[in-house]
């Protein structure tokens, strides 16, 4: 994929494209079964137990999560209604599936070496009250040419998580190097969601002031054959942990704490869902602004 970064920028078109991108991002975020609809985060126990608000008794083992459904209870798994005992099999790290129940859906997943459940309900009050995320006004000054420097072999990076006691390990293929305000900076990159793309987790001097303190995320287009790409900080977004205590989002590697203020992209959300730690995991404690 070849990227040309030298053509003059049409500022009006730049603003229109950003607005269309952010509108679509907000619509995806507010999906009835998206992260704003998550009502709790449960660690699946090793001994069968009932978990508040969802059907069945759950436990996990080296063979993966298992649910034992009682009379009149069912789940919809891959389009099929299941009753009685159902074994999900081993779930890979950062993998998972979504199953349906009467009130919504349940995410069955594995994060930080633990099997988890996250129920999601479209009638969750926090989702219903969501009014959007404030942003900086998009400005081309925060769109910079970058060079991707690939490592000889991917390097593992262990990073913390938004939930205490968890960590994540990502294989980094290399780093991005760019100039901004007369200085040269580097950001460790992780594989992006689409093949060839990159993802960057970072903080900067605005973190904890106008932007979310723990992290921000930025998708970067696939570099061309010479490693050229573009870092557009206007498209820096909040991860789910900015909105809810029920997220296990990764924290940025130490190398990605920028010493300058990146006054671009999404700001701190207006409100978030808080949870309390219980024997089951993290359960609702309300929302606050």
pTM tops 0.85, yes or no: yes
Q: What is the pLDDT of residues 61-113, one digit of tens each?
A: 999 999 999 999 999 999 999 999 999 999 999 999 999 999 999 999 999 89
Between CA 104 and CA 120 the distance in angstroms is 6
**Percent of the chain as helix, strand, coil, to the nearest 5:** 15, 40, 45
- Residue 197 belongs to what H/E stretch? none
The contacts of residue 191 (CB under 8 Å, 6+ apart) are 170, 171, 173, 197, 198, 199
Q: What is the pLDDT of residues 198-249, one digit of tens each?
A: 999 999 999 999 999 999 999 999 999 999 999 999 999 999 999 999 999 9
* Spatial strand order in the sheet of 75-77: 80-82, 75-77, 96-101, 104-111, 114-120, 41-43, 281-288, 272-277
Phi (first) and psi of residue 154, to 5 degrees: -55, 145
- Using an 8 Å Cβ cutoff, are 215 and 249 in contact? yes
Between CA 279 and CA 154 the distance in angstroms is 38
The number of residues making up the chain comes to 289
């Amino acid at each position: 994929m070849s990227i040309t970064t030298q053509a003059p920028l049409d500022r009006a078109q730049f603003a229109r494209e950003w607005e269309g991108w952010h509108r679509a991002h907000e619509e995806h975020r507010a999906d009835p079964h998206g992260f704003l609809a998550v009502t709790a985060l449960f660690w699946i126990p090793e001994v069968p137990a009932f978990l508040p608000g969802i059907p069945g008794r759950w436990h996990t083992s080296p063979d993966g999560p298992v649910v034992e459904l009682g009379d009149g209870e069912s789940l919809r798994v891959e389009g099929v209604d299941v009753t009685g005992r159902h074994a999900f099999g081993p779930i890979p790290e950062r993998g998972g599936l979504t199953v349906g129940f009467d009130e919504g859906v349940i995410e069955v997943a594995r994060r930080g070496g633990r099997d988890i459940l996250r129920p999601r309900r479209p009638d969750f009050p926090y989702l219903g009250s969501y009014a959007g995320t404030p942003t900086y006004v998009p400005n081309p000054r925060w769109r910079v040419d970058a060079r991707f420097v690939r490592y000889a072999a991917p390097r593992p990076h262990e990073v913390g998580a938004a939930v205490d006691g968890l960590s994540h390990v990502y294989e980094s293929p290399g780093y991005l190097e760019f100039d901004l305000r007369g200085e040269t900076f580097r950001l460790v990159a992780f594989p992006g969601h689409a093949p060839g793309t990159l993802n960057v987790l970072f903080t900067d001097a605005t973190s904890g002031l106008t932007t979310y303190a723990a992290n921000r995320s930025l998708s970067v287009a696939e570099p061309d054959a010479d490693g050229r790409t573009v870092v557009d900080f206007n498209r820096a977004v909040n991860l789910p942990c900015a909105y809810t205590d029920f997220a296990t989002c990764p924290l940025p590697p130490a190398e990605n704490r920028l010493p300058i203020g990146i006054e671009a992209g999404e700001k701190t959300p207006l409100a978030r869902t808080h949870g309390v730690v219980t024997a089951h995991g993290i359960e609702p404690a309300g929302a606050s602004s």
